[in-house]
Amino acid sequence: MHRRFFIFGLGYAGGVIAGHLAAQGWEVISTGSKGTLSFDDEGTVRLALADADHVLSSVPPGSEGLDPVLDRYGAALAGKPLSYLSSTGVYGDTGGAWVDESAPVGTGRRVARAEADAAWLARGARVYRLPGIYGPGRSIFDRIAQGRAHRIDLPGQVFSRVHVEDIASGVIAGIGAPPGAYNLADDLPCSQNLLVEEACRLLGIEPPPLQSLEEAGLSPMARAFYAENRRVANGKAKRVLGWRPCFADYAAGLRALRAMTSPATASTAPAAASKDQR
């Protein structure tokens, strides 16, 4: 049986998802800089949506707060099985406490994201809330090579993260699952400092010095990264989707990345990711 999967925003995670779907026999149609269609070609997009068996959006809310996909194509999505890549930023700061899908949302700095998250849930979507995403070409190894890795003196600060391959396996596992929110995160939240130190150990180099936020001279966006502190629980995705992260902790993920990167190419910086993946 021929199956068609439509992806709005073929970006970093979307591209990996598309690759796995194609390997399973799906025809993947997509928008984005690497997609097969232009987001603005409404006639063609609507025709493709009419034939789609599943629709995934990885497009974030716009600067004005609207979800671009729902704003333009919401009517064409009626009755379609839907998925949406959201962010665990919707939970805001919990002071390092664990959060699951029952936790309140919309109290943090990601207000627009929380509103989009709620809008997709209201349409019966499977909403995948993602923490920090890493993988080939987008990891702490690349930041070390670029001189952008920092160790910040913030005791008790922890983050959750997820390997891009585990996002793909989670989304595919959820294609026929009940609608609702699902956290896709690894099993072991940790400080950014531990991540940097492990990467440097694997590279055989000394880690950068411990600094205060002020000494590090971080950009406003990078400083905002440290404004929230939480641990993300993934139990619902395991129970309902039957999903398990292949890279259950940061050490396993880093070892795999290091194994696929030769010393000669370890310092190669990735191309900048596009912010607009429509």
Domains located in the chain, CATH noted: 3-259 (3.40.50.720)
**CA distance linking residue 81 with residue 200, whole number of Å:** 43
38-18-55-277 Cα dihedral, nearest 10 degrees: -40
Give percent of the chain above pLDDT 70. 94
Cβ neighbours of 177 (radius 10 Å): 17
Report d(CA 65, CA 230) in Å as an integer.
24
Question: How confident is residue 110, by pLDDT bands cut at 50, 70 and 90?
Answer: confident
Contact in structure between 224 and 165 (CB atoms under 8 Å): no
Confidence of residue 273 (pLDDT cuts 50, 70, 90): very low
Q: How many residues does the chain have?
A: 278
For 115-170, the pLDDT digits (tens) are 999 999 999 999 999 999 999 999 999 999 999 999 999 999 999 999 999 999 99
- What is the phi/psi pair of residue 12, to 5°? -60, -60
pLDDT tens by residue, 80-93: 999 999 999 999 99
Q: Is the distance from CB of 197 to CB of 151 less than 8 angstroms? A: yes
Q: β-strands 3-8, 26-30: how paired?
A: parallel
Tell me: pLDDT of 189 over 50: yes
Summarised one tens digit per residue, pLDDT across range 5-26 is 999 999 999 999 999 999 999 9
- 19 SS3 class: helix
Q: Is 258 exposed, middle or buried (0-12, 13-18, 19+ CB in 10 A)?
A: middle
pLDDT of 269 above 50 = no
Backbone angles phi, psi at 29, to 5 degrees: -115, 140
Cα-trace Rg, the chain: 19
Q: Bridge-partner residues for 224, per DSSP?
A: none
pTM value is: 0.92
Statement: residue 60 has pLDDT above 60? yes
Confidence at residue 262, expressed as pLDDT on a 0 to 100 scale: 53
Is the Cα dihedral 120, 122, 125, 127 positive or negative?
A: positive
Host H or E run for residue 210: strand 210-211
